[in-house]
């Protein structure tokens, strides 16, 4: 039978749309809190019952809503935040679609009370599962109170999708935390089932971070502050990569104050951290991107937590480069070559204590890395410390093809003679401990080096230099590796073949959807080649831009370095250990391994004297 077309009534439209805007209590909470922020509130109080599905009550002290606008406030497509089409490309508020309250009101027992400063009393409107009541006066302070009860009670099928009270509560709590972090100037309180969860006074971002994530977080972040003008800046904090093992996962990215999850951003952050973070770890950060609203489209999804960039390639590059630079400045600005050639500057130590001795009795914690308080004259010692090295010996224990060792381990005329080496920054080797650490004596104490970590960094830096001067040496495979690709991947391959060959990959197209990998980088042989190639092609497709390959180079080189570095339990002779120490002294960033962990630390004689209570 032919079915005729008819228009849906407003109530039904609202309910259909509510499905997208109000997925669960936390999305209702998000809409309401965003309205409070848009209304310039500086105090917002939130009460939740039963994970928000029984009650969400938000009271703010913002601008309020005029009595005559109360009905419009809960009508669809009614907003005070947009006036004309041009405004759509200049959005500076969190809301703009004019549907948040309408959606919530259609699926809950909803009341909206508000008082503007100019009025002597407030007014309230109720909307019970879509049925509107009359406006009545109410006695409240300036600002707005929104109450949402029994969410989805009128749509049992939908209510069934809600999870347990504790899951819904966790979602609400996370939503609250995001809004609280992005608005540290606002005081907030949150209660759940009458229990106080947060009571946050206004302050700066760092205090807000510590109120929410604990003081631990506050102390271990690096500041990011990069403003390149034209309304493009990145600011906030990233967590020190060395501490990742024992922290919570904090990944918050805001664009123009809006929390977003975005593939371009996530990839840019990952690449920003490449080379200092183990690939299985996720970086932790609270970051704010400010961008000209004309360069971004926030009207992608009704939930408003997705964006589209006008030029995703340059945003990707801006984010990853800013992070890389900042991490380099913070982690490596005391890099060995710099520090050592600055040896005359007497003491040079890091702000962040890297390892503390977990020793209950004589308590001391001064063992920070890089406390290079060796004194004047060291530089001359380095310069006078020349000798020929035995490349074969090095190539042997570095466990890499001898051809490559020439490029990788040219020791810049620093030899590995052991006499007098204790005058050198990393001293002269005494022994190898448990096949893992090198113990080395310096003029004023003992240095402990994690040999695999240090070696990995040395190789990475060498590979990077090699790549900058030429391309990475590659090796031909006996049998080509065949990889199936999608049409998009094959297009990405055709466009970027040249770039791949710079990295040491020789690849041909076999058919429309198959590639043959014929050569791979000399040092890469870990059975993950196909995946690596596919990942790189996907990145070309998703993010475009020639900088992607540059960022991937580091990841690739880092993988290669890890595979080539000397393994634990590999017995080293004293000359080999000294060779490694000398090489570290010549390597940029040698104080941290490729995953951001320290490669060495020093115990001074002072530390030891204190420990043994000598001279007290
Ligand atoms: N807490 C509040 N304080 C002051 N005005 C408010 C508040 N909440 C809502 N409003 C007013 O009600 C209007 C409708 O709110 P609603 O959330 O439905 O839409 P919006 O915020 O304009 O857009 P979006 O649907 O994208 O959130 C807002 O434009 C604003 O003028
Ligand atoms: Mg809104």
3-state class of 191 per DSSP? strand
Read off the pLDDT band of 220 (50, 70, 90): confident
Handedness of CA 107, 108, 109, 114 (dihedral sign): negative
Hey, which of 17, 83, 91, 100 would you mutate to test ligand 1's pocket, going by the most ligand atoms within 8 Å of its Cβ? 100
pLDDT higher for 534 or 117?
A: 117
pLDDT higher for 525 or 383?
A: 525
pLDDT computed for residue 488 by the predictor: 81
Let me know if 493 is exposed, middle or buried by CB neighbors in 10 A (0-12, 13-18, 19+): buried
Highest mean pLDDT among 105-109, 282-286, 474-478, 566-570: 105-109
pLDDT computed for residue 560 by the predictor: 66
Return the ligand 1 atom nearest residue 146 CA: 1
Neighbours of 75 (CB within 10 A): 17
- In whole angstroms, what separates CA 238 from the centre of its chain? 7
Q: Please compute the mean of the pLDDT values over residues 480-489 and round it to a whole number.
A: 87
Q: In what order do the strands lie in the sheet with 232-239?
A: 221-227, 232-239, 285-291, 251-255, 258-259
Q: From the CA of 100, how far away is ligand 2's center (Å)?
A: 5
Q: From the CA of 23, how far away is ligand 1's center (Å)?
A: 18
Mean pLDDT of the chain: 79
d(CA 309, CA 316): 10
Q: Which two tokens stand for residue 185?
A: 């100037």
pLDDT at 332 over 80: no
pLDDT at 209 over 80: yes
Strands 232-239 and 285-291: antiparallel
Let me know if 121 is exposed, middle or buried by CB neighbors in 10 A (0-12, 13-18, 19+): exposed
Q: Which two tokens stand for residue 428?
A: 């002269």
pLDDT computed for residue 18 by the predictor: 79
Is residue 110 lining ligand 1, measured as CB closer than 6 Å? no
User: In what helix (H) or strand (E) does residue 163 lie, and over which residues does it extend?
Assistant: none
Please report the domains of the chain, with CATH numbers, ordered by start residue.
10-202 (3.30.565.10), 207-332 (3.30.230.10), 472-564 (3.30.1370.100)
Read off the pLDDT band of 478 (50, 70, 90): confident
User: In what helix (H) or strand (E) does residue 431 lie, and over which residues does it extend?
Assistant: strand 428-433
pLDDT for 66-123, tens place per residue? 999 999 999 999 999 998 888 888 999 999 999 999 999 999 999 999 999 999 999 9
Return the ligand 1 atom nearest residue 82 CA: 22
pLDDT computed for residue 555 by the predictor: 67
Place of tokens 């890099």: 335
Q: Please compute the mean of the pLDDT values over residues 504-509 and round it to a whole number.
A: 87
Contact 549, 499 (CB under 8 A): yes
Buried/exposed 135-159: b ≥16 CB within 10 Å, e otherwise? eeeeebebbbbbbbbbbbebbeebe
Highest mean pLDDT among 142-156, 431-445, 599-613: 142-156
Is residue 80 lining ligand 1, measured as CB closer than 6 Å? yes
User: Which ligand places an atom closest to the C-alpha of 104?
Assistant: 1
Is residue 489 lining ligand 1, measured as CB closer than 6 Å? no
d(CA 279, CA 594): 10
Q: Please compute the mean of the pLDDT values over residues 577-603 and round it to a whole number.
A: 83
**Least confident stretch, 117-131, 231-245, 527-541:** 527-541
Strands 600-604 and 445-450: antiparallel
pLDDT computed for residue 427 by the predictor: 87
pLDDT computed for residue 471 by the predictor: 64
Smallest CA separation from ligand 1 atom 31, residue: 80
pLDDT for 57-82, tens place per residue? 999 999 999 999 999 999 999 999 99
d(CA 21, CA 38): 18
pLDDT computed for residue 397 by the predictor: 34
Closest CA to 397 of 590, 524, 576, 586: 576
Q: Please compute the mean of the pLDDT values over residues 198-226 and round it to a whole number.
A: 86
Q: Give me the phi and psi of 553, to 5 degrees please.
A: -55, -45
pLDDT at 276 over 80: no
3-state class of 311 per DSSP? coil
Q: From the CA of 473, how far away is ligand 1's center (Å)?
A: 60
Read off the pLDDT band of 334 (50, 70, 90): very low
pLDDT at 343 over 70: no
pLDDT computed for residue 13 by the predictor: 85
Read off the pLDDT band of 531 (50, 70, 90): confident
Return the ligand 1 atom nearest residue 95 CA: 26
pLDDT computed for residue 579 by the predictor: 85
d(CA 86, CA 392): 69
Q: Please compute the mean of the pLDDT values over residues 356-383 and round it to a whole number.
A: 28
Is residue 36 lining ligand 1, measured as CB closer than 6 Å? yes
pLDDT at 211 over 80: yes
Q: Please compute the mean of the pLDDT values over residues 527-541 and round it to a whole number.
A: 73
Strands 474-484 and 514-521: antiparallel
Q: Please compute the mean of the pLDDT values over residues 263-280 and round it to a whole number.
A: 81
Q: Which two tokens stand for residue 486?
A: 């999608």
DSSP per residue, 412-476: TTB----TTGGGSTT-EEEEEETTTEEEEEETTEEEEEEHHHHHHHHHHHHHHHHHHHS---EEE
**Least confident stretch, 3-17, 33-47, 156-170, 351-365:** 351-365
Q: Which two tokens stand for residue 531?
A: 């995946």
Smallest CA separation from ligand 1 atom 17, residue: 100
pLDDT computed for residue 347 by the predictor: 28
pLDDT computed for residue 588 by the predictor: 78
Let me know if 441 is exposed, middle or buried by CB neighbors in 10 A (0-12, 13-18, 19+): middle
Measured between alpha carbons, how far is residue 604 from residues 368, 370, 556, 580, 608 in Å? 10, 11, 37, 21, 6
The residues that bridge with 57 in the sheet, in sequence order, are 47, 147
d(CA 305, CA 95): 11
pLDDT at 380 over 50: no
pLDDT for 29-47, tens place per residue? 999 999 999 999 999 999 9
pLDDT computed for residue 136 by the predictor: 96
Q: Give me the phi and psi of 155, to 5 degrees please.
A: -130, 80
Q: From the CA of 72, how far away is ligand 2's center (Å)?
A: 13
Is residue 442 lining ligand 1, measured as CB closer than 6 Å? no
Q: Which two tokens stand for residue 183?
A: 């608005």
Read off the pLDDT band of 354 (50, 70, 90): very low
Read off the pLDDT band of 184 (50, 70, 90): very high
Contact 80, 53 (CB under 8 A): no
Is residue 425 lining ligand 1, measured as CB closer than 6 Å? no
DSSP per residue, 532-583: HHHHHHHHHHHH-STHHHHHHHHHHHHHHHHHHSPPTT----HHHHHHHHHH
pLDDT higher for 160 or 380?
A: 160
Closest CA to 458 of 347, 271, 342, 588: 588
């Amino acid at each position: 039978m032919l079915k005729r077309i008819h228009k849906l009534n407003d109530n039904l439209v609202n309910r259909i749309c509510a499905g997208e805007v109000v997925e669960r209590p936390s999305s209702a909470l998000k809409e309401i809190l965003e309205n409070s922020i848009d209304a310039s509130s500086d105090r917002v109080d939130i009460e939740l019952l039963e994970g928000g599905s029984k009650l969400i009550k938000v009271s703010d002290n913002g601008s309020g809503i005029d009595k005559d606008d109360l009905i419009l406030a809960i009508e669809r497509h009614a907003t005070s935040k947009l006036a004309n089409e041009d405004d759509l490309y200049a959005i500076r508020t969190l809301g703009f679609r004019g549907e948040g309250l309408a959606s919530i009101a259609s699926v809950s027992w909803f009341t909206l009370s508000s008082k503007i400063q100019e009025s002597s009393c407030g007014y309230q409107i109720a909307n019970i599962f879509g049925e509107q009541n009359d406006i009545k006066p109410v006695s409240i302070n300036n600002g707005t109170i929104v109450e949402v009860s029994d969410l989805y009670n009128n749509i049992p099928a939908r209510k069934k999708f809600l999870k347990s009270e504790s899951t819904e509560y966790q979602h609400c709590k996370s939503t609250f935390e995001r809004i609280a972090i992005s608005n540290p100037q606002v005081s907030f309180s949150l209660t759940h089932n009458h229990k106080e969860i947060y009571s946050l006074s206004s302050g700066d971002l760092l205090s807000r971070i510590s109120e929410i994530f604990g003081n631990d977080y506050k102390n271990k972040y690096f500041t990011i502050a990069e403003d390149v003008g034209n309304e493009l800046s990145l600011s906030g904090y990233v967590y020190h990569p060395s501490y990742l093992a024992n922290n919570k996962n904090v990944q918050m990215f805001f664009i123009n104050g809006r929390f977003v999850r975005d593939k371009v951003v996530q990839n840019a952050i990952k690449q920003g951290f490449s080379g200092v973070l183990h690939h299985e770890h996720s970086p932790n950060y609270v970051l704010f991107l400010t961008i000209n609203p004309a360069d971004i489209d926030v009207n992608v999804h009704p939930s408003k937590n997705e964006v589209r960039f006008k030029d995703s390639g340059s945003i990707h590059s801006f984010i990853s480069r800013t992070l890389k630079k900042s991490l380099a400045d913070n982690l490596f600005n005391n890099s060995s070559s710099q520090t050592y050639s600055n040896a005359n500057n007497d003491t040079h130590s890091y702000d962040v204590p890297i390892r503390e001795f977990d020793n209950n009795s004589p308590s001391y914690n001064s063992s920070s890395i890089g406390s290079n308080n060796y004194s004047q004259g060291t530089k001359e010692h380095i310069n006078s410390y020349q000798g020929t090295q035995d490349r074969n010996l090095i190539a042997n224990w570095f466990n890499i093809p001898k051809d490559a060792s020439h490029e990788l381990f040219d020791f810049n005329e620093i030899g590995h003679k052991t006499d007098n080496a204790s005058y050198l920054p990393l001293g002269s080797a005494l022994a190898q401990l448990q096949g893992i650490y090198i113990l080395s004596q310096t003029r004023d104490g003992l240095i402990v080096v994690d040999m695999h970590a240090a070696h990995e960094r040395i190789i990475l830096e060498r590979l990077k230099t090699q790549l900058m001067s030429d391309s990475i040496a590659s090796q031909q495979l006996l049998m080509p590796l065949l990889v199936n690709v999608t049409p998009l991947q094959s297009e990405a391959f055709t466009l970027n073949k040249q770039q791949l060959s710079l990295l040491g990959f020789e690849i041909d197209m076999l058919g429309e959807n198959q590639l043959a990998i014929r050569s791979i980088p000399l040092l890469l042989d870990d059975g993950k080649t196909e995946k690596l190639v596919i990942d790189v092609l996907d990145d070309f497709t998703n993010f475009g831009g020639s900088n992607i390959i540059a960022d991937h180079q580091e990841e690739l080189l880092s993988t290669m370095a890890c595979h080539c570095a000397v393994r634990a339990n590999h017995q080293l002779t004293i000359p080999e250990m000294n060779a490694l120490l000398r090489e570290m002294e010549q390597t940029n960033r040698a104080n941290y391994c490729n995953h951001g962990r320290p490669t060495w630390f020093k115990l001074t004689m002072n530390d030891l004297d204190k420990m043994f209570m000598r001279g007290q």
